[in-house]
């Protein structure tokens, strides 16, 4: 291709932009991961205007408007903004989010989410009224934080509230209990939840209310909830607990499993994984949660390693079969906010740094049908961006070493100078 032809192509893809200095700012990148399926670019620049990316590419090719403002966050490793697809807003810090001081909520959002580059998060179970109030204040600009999607209030089997939720604040626990006994009740619960502002439905398919008793949501109830949700163009998430729960999710038409399964006597077999792949089911592994929970009941370290290792194999098999992996940590229920260990576990399960990047960016954008809006550093997409201090290619835990994060071009986190 001639140089003229190349330049025409670059203009078409936004590498050259007619943006003016007055309304454009520049983020310089020592290394740019524009997407997990394309090679990284060294010494790159990203141009942002009105919350959108207008150009991204090598410094010696992108035309920077004269006098454009250079971001103070320049110089690191730049990627698209991250999504944590499994969080909860159930800690006491979120109480009365409609009226609590904005400064405190912003600090809590930073401590839990934005300081780790999460510009979009998916809340998988909380008091829907409170979470929607928090989301509305963020969208109005009163609070600095990530974009929030929520499953609102989950559905449980009758008498099936899990034992590990019983230590939650009573006022929260009282608001998150929906236990439909039949298909009609399940459909009504879904309608009410979505009408309240939820973006999906979450089902607890297999629970243990007292560590001795097992409860299962019937396939009839689970399928009715899934059908009602899908009829409204929304996704269905499920907490499976066990291989039987995974099979129930497949039978019901669930879209996303929010955990791997711990303590299985047998691994996820090839038939189950093939069916998961055929039905386009995604998996959020939440590896970090397992040692966190096992430590609570004083499980010996060698047993913890064995149990967690089995869940790593579940994800390895699923990923090698081509299944879609979404990043998520269960943070909010889990009080350890730093996701570094999750990245390390994912690498132990065989995922490369580019596959982990996909789980944070392109995969959730695709799963939520938002690839035209986010997930890549490309012209026309929202300027949701993360600046890392070091390269995840050297150590995947560097995904947690965030210098700055931007949501639609506005800073939601800037690290303090060292």
CATH of the domain at 39: 2.30.40.10
Number of C-beta neighbours around residue 393 at 10 A: 15
| Of 280, 386, 274, nearest in space to 325 by CA | 280
Q: Mean pLDDT score of the chain, rounded to an integer? A: 92
Q: How far apart are CA 98 and CA 89, in angstroms?
A: 13
Q: How far apart are CA 349 and CA 364, in angstroms?
A: 19
* pLDDT (mean) for 358-379: 98
**pLDDT of the residue at 418:** 61
CATH number for the domain that contains residue 254: 3.20.20.140
In a domain, 372, yes or no: no
Higher pLDDT, 174 or 195: 195
Angle at 398 between CA 75 and CA 386, to 5 degrees: 50
Angle between helices 219-231 and 243-252 (to 10 degrees): 50
pLDDT tens-digit profile of 98-137? 999 999 999 999 999 999 999 999 999 999 999 999 999 9
pLDDT tens-digit profile of 201-219? 999 999 888 878 889 999 9
Q: How far apart are CA 392 and CA 398, in angstroms?
A: 5
In a domain, 313, yes or no: yes
End-to-end CA distance of the chain: 47
pLDDT tens-digit profile of 228-285? 999 999 999 999 999 999 999 999 999 999 999 998 877 899 999 999 999 999 999 9
18 pLDDT above the threshold of 50: no
- Concatenate the DSSP letters of all residues of 201-230 into one string: EEEE-EE-SSSS--EE--HHHHHHHHHHHH
Q: Which domain holds residue 381?
A: 3-80+377-414
| Total domain count, the chain | 2
Residues 48 and 94 in one domain: no
pLDDT tens-digit profile of 81-93? 999 999 999 999 9
- 77 — pLDDT class (breaks 50, 70, 90): very high
Residues 164 and 248 in one domain: yes
Number of C-beta neighbours around residue 100 at 10 A: 18
Q: How far apart are CA 78 and CA 324, in angstroms?
A: 23
In a domain, 248, yes or no: yes
Residues 218 and 142 in one domain: yes
Whole-number Cα distances in Å, 372 to 117, 211, 304, 410, 415: 20, 45, 41, 20, 29
Order of strands across the sheet that contains 82-87 = 82-87, 118-123, 147-150
Q: How far apart are CA 124 and CA 235, in angstroms?
A: 12
Contact in structure between 125 and 172 (CB atoms under 8 Å): no
* Residue with token string 């071009």: 409
| Of 25, 29, 53, nearest in space to 388 by CA | 29
**pLDDT of the residue at 17:** 46
Q: How far apart are CA 335 and CA 234, in angstroms?
A: 29
* pLDDT (mean) for 139-147: 97
Higher pLDDT, 226 or 213: 226
In a domain, 206, yes or no: yes
Q: What is the DSSP letter of 268?
A: P
């Amino acid at each position: 291709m001639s140089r003229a032809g190349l330049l025409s192509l670059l203009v078409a893809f936004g590498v050259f932009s007619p943006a003016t200095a007055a309304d454009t700012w520049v983020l310089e990148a020592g290394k740019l991961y524009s997407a997990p399926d394309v090679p990284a670019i060294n010494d790159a620049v990203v141009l942002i205007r009105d919350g959108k990316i207008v150009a991204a590419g090598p410094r010696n090719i992108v035309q920077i408007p004269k006098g454009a403002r250079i971001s103070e966050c320049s110089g690191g490793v730049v990627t698209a903004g991250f999504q944590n697809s499994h969080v909860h807003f159930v800690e006491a810090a979120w109480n009365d989010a409609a009226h609590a001081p904005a400064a405190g909520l912003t600090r809590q959002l930073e401590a839990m989410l934005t300081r780790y580059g999460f510009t979009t998060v998916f809340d998988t179970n909380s008091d829907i009224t409170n979470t929607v109030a928090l989301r509305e204040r963020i969208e109005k600009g009163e609070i600095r934080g990530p974009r929030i999607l929520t499953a609102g209030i989950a559905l449980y089997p009758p008498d099936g509230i899990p034992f590990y939720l019983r230590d939650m604040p009573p006022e929260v626990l009282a608001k998150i209990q929906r236990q439909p006994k039949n298909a009609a009740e399940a459909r009504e619960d879904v309608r009410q939840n979505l009408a309240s502002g939820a973006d999906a439905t979450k089902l607890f398919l297999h629970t243990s209310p007292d560590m001795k008793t097992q409860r299962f949501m019937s396939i009839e109830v689970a399928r009715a909830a899934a059908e009602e949700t899908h009829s409204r163009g929304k996704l269905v998430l499920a907490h499976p607990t066990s291989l039987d729960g995974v099979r129930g999710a497949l039978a019901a038409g669930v879209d996303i499993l929010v955990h791997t399964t711990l303590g299985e006597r047998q691994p996820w077999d090839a038939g189950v994984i093939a069916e998961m792949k055929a039905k386009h089911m995604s998996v959020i592994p939440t590896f970090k949660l397992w040692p966190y929970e096992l430590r609570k009941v004083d499980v010996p370290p060698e047993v913890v390693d064995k149990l967690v290792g089995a869940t790593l194999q579940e994800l390895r098999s699923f990923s090698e079969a081509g299944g879609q992996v979404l990043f998520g940590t269960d943070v909010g229920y889990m009080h350890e906010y730093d996701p570094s260990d999750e990245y390390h576990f994912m690498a132990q399960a065989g995922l490369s740094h580019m596959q982990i990047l996909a789980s944070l960016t392109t995969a959730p954008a695709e799963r939520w049908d938002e690839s035209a809006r986010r997930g890549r550093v490309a012209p026309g997409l929202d300027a949701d961006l993360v600046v890392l201090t070091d390269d995840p290619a050297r150590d995947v835990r560097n995904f947690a070493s965030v210098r700055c994060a931007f949501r639609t071009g506005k800073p939601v986190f800037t690290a303090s100078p060292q």
